[in-house]
Amino acid sequence: MVEQVVVGGGLAGLASAWHLARRGCEVVVLEAREPGHDGASSHGRARMTRSTYGSPLYVDLVREALDRDWPELEAQSGESLIRPVPAVFFGPPTGLFGAFRRATLDAGVTDLEELSPGSARERFPALGIRRTDGVLLDGTGGVISADRTIRVLRERVREAGVEVRTEAPVTGVSRGSRLSLTVGGEHPGELEAQRILVCAGACTARVLPEVSCIVPRRQVVGYAAPGDPDAPSVNWARLDEGLVYGLPAHAGDGAKMAGHRLTGPADDPTVRMPVTHEETLALRRTLGPALRSVPTLARVETCLYAVTKSEDPVLTQLDDPRISVLAGLSGHGFKLGPLLGRIASRVALGEGSGVAAFDVNRARFGLRR
């Protein structure tokens, strides 16, 4: 019998496993494919971090992650994982932009500058900033080296004694007097565990059907050619009827850009679908209001989101306290990943998180929402 099984070897699963092992737990990670594979949510080279948010809770959580968890992971690995790049947020002063502005200022972020539209247009000419827009420049912004973060976490869990079993999809959990998982792939059979932490992203409900609040949504992401003069050189997001965002060129990829899709039918997380010509055109239309000129998209790909209606991830013990969940992170995942892994390790052990912003808002991360 294994003391602690973590289901899922992406960012959330590896970060959680690392912290559990550091607490002295025997940990086995079961990953359906390979950590960071391109059919899930943790793949790719770049993610944005920033403090600007529509909720003071997330401003506080980002502050905690940037002050403690990312520096700790970088110190443990001897690698720099975040490249400082400011983030420009803009949009009509009311509505979504107004909510982000109020929440971020109310949370006391100091490295934040309000710009006039004219000044912002001069400094960031590639962005489609209108004369009536509000503009915030977030100096805490950065570009996370996502693929390197996954590699670093794999190294940390290996050094901590965690066993990572790849090609080991979990197809069910039995919850009798003994807790066991049904495993397929290259490790078929039943695996007994004292505790289970499920970090299976968009596939979480396939492992735990009661976690039905997590919805898989396929996102289409475009990349400009490296060096394209129409591509912005900063992190950015236009906040209007929805959120459209982009990152500058990073690690050989051209500038990355996409819309944040939260509506529409759920997608099947097990089915791989190529990006269609119509989807590429739709992405260009989505980007149009946010950019002065939409760059030629040299490459498009998909990212499988796992989201809840409230956009709060699930991070809780189930009614059976032997089973915990950390999933539904999309939109927050990479910037908060090391922190949420630390919190999840404590939740799985039945402890307080040690993070005040999480503990006072714990109900937001439960199943009943």
The encoded tokens of residue 128 equal: 């489609």
Per-residue model confidence (pLDDT) at position 39: 67
Dihedral sign of CA atoms 75, 76, 81, 82 in order: negative
Q: Are 126 and 175 in contact (CB under 8 A)?
A: no
Within a 13 Å sphere around the CA of 209, how many CA atoms are in the beta-carbon half?
Answer: 4
Domains in the chain: boundaries: 2-365
Q: Are 223 and 209 in contact (CB under 8 A)?
A: no
What are the mean pLDDT values of the chain's consecutive 10-residue runs (369 residues total)?
97 97 98 79 87 95 97 97 98 95 94 97 98 98 97 97 97 95 96 98 94 92 96 97 96 95 85 92 97 97 90 96 95 91 98 96 92
Coil, strand or helix at 349: coil
Nearest to 211 by CA among 369, 24, 16, 35: 369
Nearest-10 crossing angle of helices 70-77, 146-159: 70
CB burial of residue 338 (10 Å; 0-12, 13-18, 19+): buried
CA 86/CA 102 separation, integer angstroms: 19
CA 69/CA 54 separation, integer angstroms: 22
The encoded tokens of residue 356 equal: 């005040």
Query: What is the reported pTM?
Result: 0.95
Dihedral sign of CA atoms 344, 345, 350, 353 in order: negative
User: Which residue(s) pair with 259 in the sheet?
Assistant: 244
Find out if CATH 1.10.10.1590 is the number for domain 2-365: no
